[in-house]
Amino acid sequence: MRAWVNAVLGSIDRGAWLRFLLALSGLLLAFATALLSTAARERGDLLATAVLATSSLLLATVVGVITVPYLAKRVVAGRVREALNYDVTREGVIYLVLTVLIAIGALNTGNNLLFIVVAAMLGAVLISGVASAMVLKGLEIELLLPTRVFAGRTYSGSVQLRNARRWLPSFSISVVPPPAKKKIVYRWRKSMFVYPSSSSGRAPWIRWPDLVLDRIPVTPELPPIFEGRVYLPYLPAQQTLSAELDLFFPHRGRYRQQGIGLSTRFPFSFLTKTRIVPLIEDVLVYPSVEPTPEFLEVLPMISGEMESYVRGRGNDLYLIRDYQPEDTARHVDWKSTAKVGQLKVREFTREDERKLRIVFENPRPGELSEDDYESAIALAASLAWHFASEGTELSFIAAGFPQDTELYHFLEYLADVQPSESGAVLDNLSLMDEYNIVLTARPRGSISTSAWESSYVIFLQK
């Protein structure tokens, strides 16, 4: 029963019903005032007639301005309602106020010229709405976004607007984000009815269980991509224009653009018409790979441990030294030998020293604060990006992530990952086969690093 009541209350548009009741009350009051003005006129009281007639007209005007547009947008078909919205501008409010004042003067004086002026002014508002709708009709929009995006950086995108009509151009068009839709959820909550209330300072006489209906606003799950404004003064028929977008993504994760708005104030700026174009675009934002203080602190130690060069058959030159009897002749550096007159040989680094594995052990919920967790994500991404740019052969291990060698696959994992109970990967992992960088939230002392001589362990807990 309670679930049914919640569903019914959630489906009711409280704002529309409230405005409807206000409009009904206002119109009844205006009708009553008009009847009173008629009675006053029959008695010959001109002052009361003028005051009551003016009050009736003002009440009807206020109801029309405040409630009629709001209710009209909910009466039209859903597709049209979502496709075209309008708002009265500041100039439009001033214009409507002037129209009302002239209409009051026309009613009080009976001057036909004033009635013609009022009709012309109202016709201008109607023409403004029709012209705005025609300007936005037939426009097609496309949003071009960068493919690989990192948090904390500014990127350039573009919006392409095409006028598909054969002959009618468009004027004064703005590309804007769609209006934010605030979803409201109603939930029953157990409470206690107390009389008198505790604020009165007296002992309560009545206390019994009660239910309270809470109004909970629901925020969108994913943040939008585009929040700015692009202005195009003129778009010819059957032409396409593009404009640059400055995009900034402060945090890692997914961003989603659900619809985009085309608005115009053409021709008189009385109304701002907005047409919502259905559009769904997703962007996955990688963690920031900029050097952080933690990254600059651990990088010298990691590099120092990795560069324990020994003699090998790699391709990178380590040093040139004197010839020893056990050295092979194919390693002799003949240029250095000719310069000093003594046999010199070349030593190389081992190729397997350029292999590195990054192990990210995802903490459990509550094990790290939100800031520390984001710092750990950024540190893992920065280390992976740094060693990949140096040509190091990388591999990655994390809970829920198959062992992979592709850098961008690991960055995609870090972009979406959240704390999890199943994040432990060190218990059944052998770290002896190659050099490893281990990021873990386990306490210091819980891991014996001597067992992993070829590893550098970063403890995430402060």
Highest average pLDDT, of 54-68, 342-356, 407-421, comes from 407-421
Q: With bands split at pLDDT 50, 70 and 90, how would you rate the model's confidence at 196?
A: low
Which pLDDT belongs to residue 287? 93
φ/ψ of 459, rounded to 5, equals -85, 120
Residue bearing the bigger pLDDT, 79 or 25: 25
Angstrom distances, CA of residue 162 to CA of 143, 168, 250, 315, 357: 12, 12, 31, 56, 49
- DSSP designation for 202: S
**Does the pLDDT value for residue 78 go beyond 70?**
no
The segment(s) of the chain belonging to CATH 2.60.40.10 are: 139-181+221-286
Tell me how far apart the terminal alpha carbons of the chain are, to the nearest angstrom: 50
Give the position of tokens 């010819």: 236
The predicted-structure confidence for 270-303, as pLDDT tens digits, reads as follows: 888 888 888 888 899 999 988 888 888 887 777 7
Distance separating alpha carbons of residues 174 and 228, to the nearest angstrom? 10
345 contacts: CB under 8 Å, gap ≥ 6: 320, 321, 322, 323, 324, 327, 331, 332, 333
Residue 200: predicted pLDDT: 61
Contact 428, 348 (CB under 8 A): no
pLDDT of the residue at 337: 76
Q: Tell me the pairing of strands 401-404 and 240-248.
A: unpaired
Average pLDDT over residues 183-207: 69
Higher confidence at residue 150 or residue 442?
150
pLDDT band at 197 (very low <50, low <70, confident <90, very high): low
The mean pLDDT of 212-230, rounded to a whole number, is 76
Q: Which helix (H) or strand (E) holds 104?
A: helix 90-109
Q: Round to whole Å and give the CA distance between 177 and 260.
A: 5
Percent of the chain with pLDDT over 90: 5
pLDDT of 227 strictly over 70: yes
pLDDT band at 222 (very low <50, low <70, confident <90, very high): confident
How confident is the model over 166-181, as pLDDT tens digits? Answer: 888 889 899 988 876 6
Mean pLDDT on 360-378: 87
Q: How many CA atoms lie within 13 A of 268 on its CB side?
A: 20
Percentage of the chain exceeding pLDDT 70:
76
Q: Which position has the higher pLDDT, 409 or 334?
A: 409
* pLDDT, position 317: 55
Q: Which amino acid is at 165?
A: R
Query: Which stretches within 158-234 are classed as H helix?
Result: none
The two tokens of residue 429 are 């992992």
Give helix 293-306 / helix 370-389 axis angle, nearest 10°: 40
Q: pLDDT confidence of 312, banded at 50, 70, 90?
A: very low
Q: What is the pLDDT of residue 286?
A: 93
Name the CATH topology of 139-181+221-286.
Answer: Immunoglobulin-like (2.60.40)
Which residues is 195 bridged to in the sheet?
A: 206
Q: How far apart are CA 83 and CA 279, in angstroms?
A: 12
